[in-house]
Amino acid sequence: MMKKSESFDYRLDKRSIKEFEENLKKHTKEEIEYLQYWIDRYNGMYGRKKREFVVLKWGCKDFIEVSLDASSTYKPDFLLAKCYNNSYFVKSIFPIEVTTCAIISKTYYLKKSKVIWDYDNLTPQIATTSHYILFIINTEKKGHELFTILTPKFLDKLKKTNIEYPDCLGNKPAYQFKHDIIKWKKLFPKNFNNLKLF
């Protein structure tokens, strides 16, 4: 079991605790809004009057609430439940993380902790698949964001690449991938035709 002080150290980087807390609150709010829009958009495609996906907050916690037990702390932020057609019964549960990047870049980084859940032993008991990542870029230009879904298969391939320590992520261990190997989609398109999320 990880001690609380070790748990803080694991999450902190070169930012002060105050900066970390402020950034966490801001990014958590932004990620919830993006995920909410993404789900609403998918459920509303093609004039649907039913919802296919619902979301549950799972690992979203304030910094102050970090548990002494790391296994209950380091979980994907959300669980995405896919329902049976015209039903309230859940067909499958996908753990999903939301990650953002302010710009469009040639290279993107994902923290190792978002790719490999070293301290999480609860999610596999709940979910029916490995986790997905909703990756949204160009967030500094509101209304012009692009997104992709990074699948468990993609993340498994990423785990086999080299670890880097980019300054933009506070020198945390991370994996990198190139922009042009991903098919990006507009988050706010004029129409939703032929949109397949995953």
Class of domain 4-104+121-151: alpha beta
* DSSP H or E stretch at residue 55: strand 53-57
Residue type (1 letter), 93:
I
Is pTM beyond 0.85 here? Answer: no
Lowest mean pLDDT among 12-21, 24-33, 77-86, 111-120: 12-21
Calculate mean pLDDT across residues 166-178: 89
- Residue 3 pLDDT: 45
- Return the structure tokens found at 150: 């990074």
Query: What pLDDT band is residue 13 in, cutting at 50, 70 and 90?
Result: low
- Residue 61 pLDDT: 60
CA atoms within 13 A of residue 162's CA, in its CB half-sphere: 3
Q: Which of 41, 69, 65 has the alpha carbon at shortest distance from 55?
A: 41
Lowest mean pLDDT among 104-113, 115-124, 142-151: 115-124
Q: What is d(CA 115, CA 152) in angstroms, rounded to the nearest whole number?
A: 9
- What does the pLDDT look like over 128-150, one tens digit per residue? 988 999 999 999 999 899 999 99
Chain-wide mean pLDDT for the chain? 80
* DSSP H or E stretch at residue 91: strand 90-101
Q: What is d(CA 114, CA 103) in angstroms, rounded to the nearest whole number?
A: 20
